């Protein structure tokens, strides 16, 4: 059980419209924090903002495509102005579609664009959000939490391998 008094605090949570990000939104708002729900899916943001507002939680929509620097900059600026600053930046957004469309034995079906997209959302977006939020976080002496996956430490094999495990393991 996690508990802290976050009344008067503000956060941006990326990927906040579903999955782990939405869990973080639930937890932070339950502890009194005002949260800007950042996601590329505006429909899901609207659904969660309506639902959580009805529960008297303090949330606001912060739509952005984290693959795009200008979109990130605008989202962070608008959220900071609307909330009066940023105490926490929580990076959760991820391209979890990768679990379905990169079977290790099907390299030929992959494109460079797919890999660019994955790197842009899963890796570069953290650089973009932290850079955009840095002035506000310095001001508030705030904190950044960036989530990752155990897949970063070891291969996850969701389908039977058609190539040797050694071929997909890091050196």
Ligand X SMILES: NC(=O)c1ccc[n+]([C@@H]2O[C@H](COP(=O)([O-])OP(=O)(O)OC[C@H]3O[C@@H](n4cnc5c(N)ncnc54)[C@H](O)[C@@H]3O)[C@@H](O)[C@H]2O)c1
Instruction: State the residues that interact with ligand X by CB under 6 A.
Output: 15, 17-21, 39-41, 64-67, 92-96, 121-122, 147, 149
For ligand X, the closer of residues 23 and 161 by Cβ is: 23
CB of 94 to ligand X, least distance (A): 2
> Among residues 140 and 147, whose Cβ is nearest to ligand X?
147
17 vs 49, beta carbon nearer ligand X: 17
Q: What's the rounded Cα separation, in Å, for the pair 17 and 108?
A: 33
Q: Shortest Cβ distance from residue 97 to ligand X (Å)?
A: 8
Q: Which phi and psi (to 5°) does residue 142 adopt?
A: -85, -160
Work out the number of other CB atoms within 10 angstroms of the CB of residue 77.
14
Least Å distance, CB 146 to ligand X, is 10
Q: Which is nearer to ligand X, 7 or 99 (CB)?
A: 99
* Closer by beta carbon to ligand X, 43 or else 56: 43
CB of 89 to ligand X, least distance (A): 14
Measure the CA–CA gap between 46 and 36, rounded to whole angstroms. Answer: 12
Q: How far is the CB of 64 from ligand X (least distance, A)?
A: 6
Are residues 52 and 28 in contact, defined by beta-carbon separation less than 8 angstroms?
no
Concatenate the DSSP letters of all residues of 88-136 into one string.
EEEE----TTHHHH--TT-GGG--HHHHHHHHIIIIIHHHHHHHHHHHH
């Amino acid at each position: 059980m996690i508990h802290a008094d976050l009344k008067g605090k503000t956060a941006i949570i990326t990927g906040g419209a579903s999955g782990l990000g939405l869990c973080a939104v639930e937890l932070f708002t339950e502890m009194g924090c005002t949260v800007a729900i950042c996601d590329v899916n505006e429909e899901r943001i609207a659904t969660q903002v309506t639902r959580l507002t009805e529960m008297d939680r303090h949330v606001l929509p912060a739509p952005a495509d984290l693959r795009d620097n200008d979109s990130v900059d605008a989202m962070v600026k608008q959220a900071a102005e609307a909330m009066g600053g940023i105490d926490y930046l929580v990076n959760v957004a991820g391209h979890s579609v990768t679990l379905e469309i990169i079977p290790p034995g099907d390299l030929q079906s992959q494109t460079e664009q797919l890999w660019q997209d994955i790197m842009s959302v899963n890796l570069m977006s953290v650089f973009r959000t932290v850079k955009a939020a840095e002035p506000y976080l310095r001001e508030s002496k705030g904190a950044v939490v960036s989530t990752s996956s155990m897949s970063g430490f070891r291969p996850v094999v969701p389908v039977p391998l058609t190539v040797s495990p050694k071929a997909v393991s890091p050196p």
